[in-house]
Chains A and B, each alone.
Chain A
């Protein structure tokens, strides 16, 4: 207690200096992804969003850097810790939630189940080309009538000789239309099982969802499996039941806990800089009390969310993180990011609705992030059950 508390000066960004907790390696990963986003994403993202595309060659660039499956180890992956994965998600999502979604799906939803539940042969065949971005993966769990309640899925797989034959339709599948391989979850006689399905298998087809107003720089598709026949070794041998897909989602949700803080930060920074330059009544709008209140509320939310993400990331690395704590983070950080985005939109006035500024793009994207990978409502009920011991939905 010998050092007095300093008065502080003008703060830029990281008000609570949360990033001072990072080690050199984590900081380098953060800076590398931030530079990549500044060079490769930000110059074109408004156009991608407007046109509803994402260039597939980004996959190989991200693979070469080590972004894909970065928190796994072996099989061509980088083998970083969970905090580094979170920081990468944060910096990617400060660019765009669609770009972060691509990386989340590839690493946590498509590569993770192979890495965690696959056979040695499956890992060696699939993980290296997925880590390099040569093969894009997708994750087929959700169906049109089975969202929060995945147990209600209709997709089924039956054994036919040594093969499996899969029938069903998956919906809202990120990367579906550009994937070379799909992890398909299906009912079998012995419970829900995962299958590695190459997308060129006869009977497998996709159609992209074109008319969406959110995550436009991301491919979202329907997958149709019509008598898709795969060999017996396409099944993931080491997991049975919903805990398979749910454990993948927990991995991905930690990325969202961090990622959403990136989107929120980008909105806050846009609002802060705009408010200092925008002059009304002869002075910058940042000088008005109402605007200052908005800016402070946004800054506080960004910092609280960042602190929470870091806490959960450190717990993940220490091996003490629970799925309920991930729900806490996903629920509150995405909600808070959405509030920041809306507040920032109001600071930017009419300019806030254009793609000249990042705010409405993030705001629209976050509507998807709010709902996917466990809706806000389901995470609330998970926490409700955690503190009362009573499940409200099962």
Chain B
């Protein structure tokens, strides 16, 4: 089974990041890390590969030159990576990202594409479904448990109240939720071997895209302004006069927690 896992390298969330004053895009530092949510996609990919004698190939689009995040996913056990590393991609919108990743995945061949539900720096949450549409295969979203084999994939799709069991023939695209599995720690041997694993470097041009098709020019949209979010409002303090539990239950029902 050929499993493609989409991963993204993002600025380390533990350090403050800045936005470019003109384009309002994140200024990407030289060293980026693997988006934490992608560890779940990698883990699901590795488990399915182990169960189905498959291979895991990482696909990532990144205009920064950083490899640290890719190496982390390789150290977890992925077999190889395809990195579309091209300054021309800077400022690409979600749809452009999906087009580029889909082109790279199609070129490599696949039975199953796995991605996180959304990235931690962009939060668009639409790329997996767009990839599925471009590749003309079914999209399964919010997957928490995944089984694959015999030409099909079955998932538990997280819902507000529980889960749906969804089945699809392969090939397909899968977006997994954080918490779907317990991602493994990379082993030190894996970390040492990651350097030897192949990373194919591609440009947008290698995949048939012109400079005007990608990046800010090809995105068909621009960020016109960025504003900080309003500070959180103070919480409500419930004084317990013996009836506080009723108010707490009402609030939990209001927010649909219970």
Question: CB distance A65 to B71 under 8 Å?
Answer: no
User: Chain B's nearest CB lies how many Å from the CB of A158?
Assistant: 41
Tell which of B14, B16, B191 touches A9, judged by Cβ atoms closer than 8 Å.
B16
A18 at the interface (CB under 8 A from B): no
Most interface-central of B16, B186, B192 (chain A CB within 10 A): B192
Tell whether A28 pairs with B71 under 8 Å between CB atoms, given A9-B16, A12-B15, A78-B192. Answer: yes
Question: CB distance A65 to B68 under 8 Å?
Answer: no
Inter-chain contact total with CB atoms closer than 8 Å: 54
Nearest-neighbor residue (CB-CB) of A80 within chain B: B188
Tell whether A32 pairs with B71 under 8 Å between CB atoms, given A25-B191, A80-B192. Answer: no
Question: CB distance A70 to B188 under 8 Å?
Answer: yes
Question: CB distance B72 to A28 under 8 Å?
Answer: yes
Q: How far is the CA of A70 from the CA of B191 in the complex (A)?
A: 12
Q: Which residues 156-176 of B sit at the A interface, judged by CB distance below 8 A? A: none
Tell which of B67, B185, B189 touches A24, judged by Cβ atoms closer than 8 Å.
B67
B195 at the interface (CB under 8 A from A): yes
Question: CB distance A29 to B191 under 8 Å?
Answer: yes
Tell which of B16, B67, B187 touches A78, judged by Cβ atoms closer than 8 Å.
B187
Question: CB distance B72 to A78 under 8 Å?
Answer: no
Question: CB distance B68 to A27 under 8 Å?
Answer: yes
A7-45 interface mask toward B, CB cutoff 8 Å, 1 = contact, 0 = none?
Answer: 001101000000000001101110110011000000000
Nearest-neighbor residue (CB-CB) of B18 within chain A: A9
- Inside 8 A of A78's CB, which chain B residues have their CB? 187-189, 191-192
B75 at the interface (CB under 8 A from A): yes
Q: How far is the CA of A9 from the CA of B18 in the complex (A)?
A: 12
Q: Which residues 2-25 of B sit at the A interface, judged by CB distance below 8 A? A: 14-16
User: Chain A's nearest CB lies how many Å from the CB of B16?
Assistant: 7
A279-304 interface mask toward B, CB cutoff 8 Å, 1 = contact, 0 = none?
Answer: 00000000000000000000000000
Tell which of A12, A28, A80 touches B186, judged by Cβ atoms closer than 8 Å.
A28
Q: How far is the CA of A56 from the CA of B187 in the complex (A)?
A: 20
Most interface-central of A29, A32, A67 (chain B CB within 10 A): A32
Nearest-neighbor residue (CB-CB) of A79 within chain B: B192
User: Chain A's nearest CB lies how many Å from the CB of B65?
Assistant: 12
B176-217 interface mask toward A, CB cutoff 8 Å, 1 = contact, 0 = none?
Answer: 000000000111110110110000000000000000000000
A64 at the interface (CB under 8 A from B): yes
- Inside 8 A of B15's CB, which chain A residues have their CB? 12
Q: How far is the CA of A67 from the CA of B191 in the complex (A)?
A: 12
- Inside 8 A of B188's CB, which chain A residues have their CB? 29, 32, 65-67, 70, 78, 80, 84
Q: Is the interface of A mostly helix, strand, loop or mixed?
A: helix
Most interface-central of B14, B67, B72 (chain A CB within 10 A): B72
Tell which of A28, A35, A36 touches B191, judged by Cβ atoms closer than 8 Å.
A28
Nearest-neighbor residue (CB-CB) of B190 within chain A: A66
User: Chain A's nearest CB lies how many Å from the CB of B189?
Assistant: 5
Nearest-neighbor residue (CB-CB) of B30 within chain A: A20
- Inside 8 A of A84's CB, which chain B residues have their CB? 188
Question: CB distance A32 to B192 under 8 Å?
Answer: no
Tell whether A32 pairs with B191 under 8 Å between CB atoms, given A24-B68, A27-B68, A65-B185. Answer: yes
Nearest-neighbor residue (CB-CB) of B12 within chain A: A31
User: Chain B's nearest CB lies how many Å from the CB of A25?
Assistant: 6
- Inside 8 A of B31's CB, which chain A residues have their CB? 27
User: Chain A's nearest CB lies how many Å from the CB of B34?
Assistant: 9
Q: Which residues 72-128 of A sit at the B interface, judged by CB distance below 8 A? A: 78-80, 84
Nearest-neighbor residue (CB-CB) of A81 within chain B: B192
Q: How far is the CA of A66 from the CA of B192 in the complex (A)?
A: 11
Q: Which residues 122-173 of B sit at the A interface, judged by CB distance below 8 A? A: none
Question: CB distance B68 to A64 under 8 Å?
Answer: no
B67-87 interface mask toward A, CB cutoff 8 Å, 1 = contact, 0 = none?
Answer: 110011001000000000000
User: Chain B's nearest CB lies how many Å from the CB of A269?
Assistant: 12
Q: How far is the CA of A36 from the CA of B188 in the complex (A)?
A: 13
A58-74 interface mask toward B, CB cutoff 8 Å, 1 = contact, 0 = none?
Answer: 00000011110010000
Q: How far is the CA of A172 from the CA of B69 in the complex (A)?
A: 43
Q: How far is the CA of A352 from the CA of B44 in the complex (A)?
A: 43
User: Chain A's nearest CB lies how many Å from the CB of B98?
Assistant: 28
Question: CB distance A65 to B67 under 8 Å?
Answer: no
Question: CB distance B71 to A24 under 8 Å?
Answer: yes
Q: How far is the CA of A27 from the CA of B188 in the complex (A)?
A: 11
Q: How far is the CA of A31 from the CA of B188 in the complex (A)?
A: 11
Q: How far is the CA of A65 from the CA of B190 in the complex (A)?
A: 9
Nearest-neighbor residue (CB-CB) of B14 within chain A: A12
Q: How far is the CA of A67 from the CA of B33 in the complex (A)?
A: 22
Q: How far is the CA of A35 from the CA of B72 in the complex (A)?
A: 13
Tell which of B16, B33, B195 touches A25, judged by Cβ atoms closer than 8 Å.
B195
14 contacts across the A-B interface (CB closer than 8 A): A10-B16, A25-B191, A25-B194, A27-B31, A28-B71, A29-B188, A31-B72, A65-B185, A66-B187, A66-B188, A70-B188, A78-B188, A80-B191, A80-B192
**Interface, chain A (partner B; CB < 8 A):** 9-10, 12, 24-25, 27-29, 31-32, 35-36, 64-67, 70, 78-80, 84
Q: Which 10 A-B pairs have the closest CB atoms?
A: A66-B188, A78-B188, A66-B187, A24-B68, A28-B191, A78-B189, A32-B185, A24-B71, A65-B185, A32-B186
- 13 other A-B residue contacts (CB within 8 Å) besides A66-B187, A66-B191, A79-B192: A24-B68, A25-B71, A25-B192, A27-B31, A27-B68, A28-B186, A29-B188, A29-B191, A31-B72, A32-B188, A32-B191, A35-B185, A78-B187
